[in-house]
Amino acid sequence: MNDSTYYNPADLAKFGKISEWQPEMGRKFFDYYGEVFKEGALSEREKALIALAVAHVVQCPYCIDAYTSDSLQKGADEAQMMEAVHVGAAIKGGATLVHATMMMNKAKELSM
């Protein structure tokens, strides 16, 4: 095992072990997690694509690994996956830019 990096792909499979040090909360979290990803008003594939977009926005390598596989498995194609990431990127970029209105308000308030 290469322990000279913070992230190790093999650690993804150990996710469940977080329950060992706090079984009650761990169990509740994983029950909830399982419930969230079940087919509901949104299909499993739509949920996988949302998770993929969010994984990129929070830049979690484990989640990107997991939800790339999951999206493929649920039948998504490359174009859908890339569009999902763009949605995440657009919201992230948009969230930065929309705050510019605060900057503009403040600047106007301070200016003659």
Q: Distance of CA 97 to CAs 90, 100, 102, Å? A: 10, 5, 10
Kindly report the number of other CB atoms within 10 A of residue 55's CB atom. 23
Q: Is 83 in the site for another protein (CB under 8 A)?
A: no
Q: Which two tokens stand for residue 29?
A: 């979290």
CB of 12 to another protein, least distance (A): 11
Q: Is 105 in the site for another protein (CB under 8 A)?
A: no
> Among 23-31, 54-62, 76-84, 88-96, which window interacts with another protein (CB under 8 A)?
76-84
The count of chain residues that interact with another protein, using the rule CB under 8 A, is 12
Distance from C-alpha of 42 to C-alpha of 49, rounded to nearest angstrom = 11
Q: Is 92 in the site for another protein (CB under 8 A)?
A: no
Please give the residues from 11 up to 40 whose contact with another protein meets the rule CB under 8 A: 39
Q: Distance of CA 30 to CAs 1, 5, 71, 72, 96, Å? A: 27, 27, 20, 22, 32
Binding residue for another protein (CB under 8 A) from 19, 37, 45, 87? 45
CB of 82 to another protein, least distance (A): 12
